[in-house]
Amino acid sequence: MTSHTRPGWLLPTGLILLSFVPVIAGGARIGQLTTGAQITEENARFFANPTPVVIHIVGASTFAVLGAFQFAPRFRGKRPRWHRIAGRIVLPCGLVVAGTGIYMALYYPHPDNTGDLLTVFRLVFGSAMATSLLLGLRAILRRDIAAHRAWMIRSYAIGLGAGTQFLTQAPWVLLVGPLDKQSNAWLSLAGWLINIAVAERHLRRLRNPVRHKATSRTEAPAVKVLG
């Protein structure tokens, strides 16, 4: 790849990798539900009411993978029709993800490591994701491309929280032990906040591309990559 191609695909590739663990875990969950796996204390709530979690997993997987390609500017620029079609899929999927996430937080029995604090966090970020998507829809209907892009990026950051939460929780599990209600809540919050911080930093770069390029040249020498 040339130096122009590599940065264009670096971000969407990273986002797909970030979504890999929750997509695989979701696929395994659907496999349990469809193949009649043994019902345990951990998965009993899903067998009792499988429809919301199946819809959530399918919607989240579609939202994560298709949404990642929206961050490839050259691919998106060369295929504007694809961008519009994918957007008409991504946005409803995101609303489905937010809605089913809120439903499960409210009505599914909580496992031992999920307390009221994490439930509140899930309700807040689920609502924030749905609101961002609706604001993004309103912006594109008004032909406000910049606002549409900003709200969609924010919604995607929240929706991809499960991927980052794996990264915040895995070291705790390895070094300390199983998550309890408090550690599960705060490490989950950390995953969402990290994603939002990265999204806002990305938006600042998009709003000030000239300043960002100038800063990059100052901070590090240019590297020529032969294609």
Q: What is the pLDDT along the chain (227 residues), one digit of tens a residue?
A: 444 445 567 878 888 888 888 899 999 999 999 887 888 888 899 999 999 999 999 999 999 999 888 877 777 777 778 888 888 999 999 999 999 999 999 999 999 999 999 999 999 999 999 999 999 999 999 999 999 999 999 999 999 999 999 999 999 999 999 999 999 999 999 999 999 999 999 899 888 865 544 444 444 333 233 23
Q: Which amino acid is at 66?
A: L
For residue 127, how many other CB atoms are within 10 A of its CB? 14
Q: H/E element holding 213?
A: helix 209-219
Alpha-carbon distance of 113 to 116, in angstroms, equals 10
Query: What size, in residues, is the chain?
Result: 227
Q: What are phi and psi of 222, to 5 degrees?
A: -70, 140
Alpha-carbon distance of 171 to 96, in angstroms, equals 30
User: What pTM did the predictor assign?
Assistant: 0.84
What pLDDT shows up at residue 4?
Answer: 46
Distance of CA 31 to the CA centre of its chain: 22
For residue 12, how many other CB atoms are within 10 A of its CB? 19
Report CA Rg, the chain.
19
What pLDDT shows up at residue 114?
Answer: 95
What pLDDT shows up at residue 96?
Answer: 97
- Which letter, b or e, does each residue of 132-170 get, where b requires 16 or more Cβ atoms within 10 Å of its Cβ? bbbbbbebbeeeeeeebbbbbbbbbbbbbbbbbbbebbe
Alpha-carbon distance of 163 to 177, in angstroms, equals 20
What pLDDT shows up at residue 217?
Answer: 47
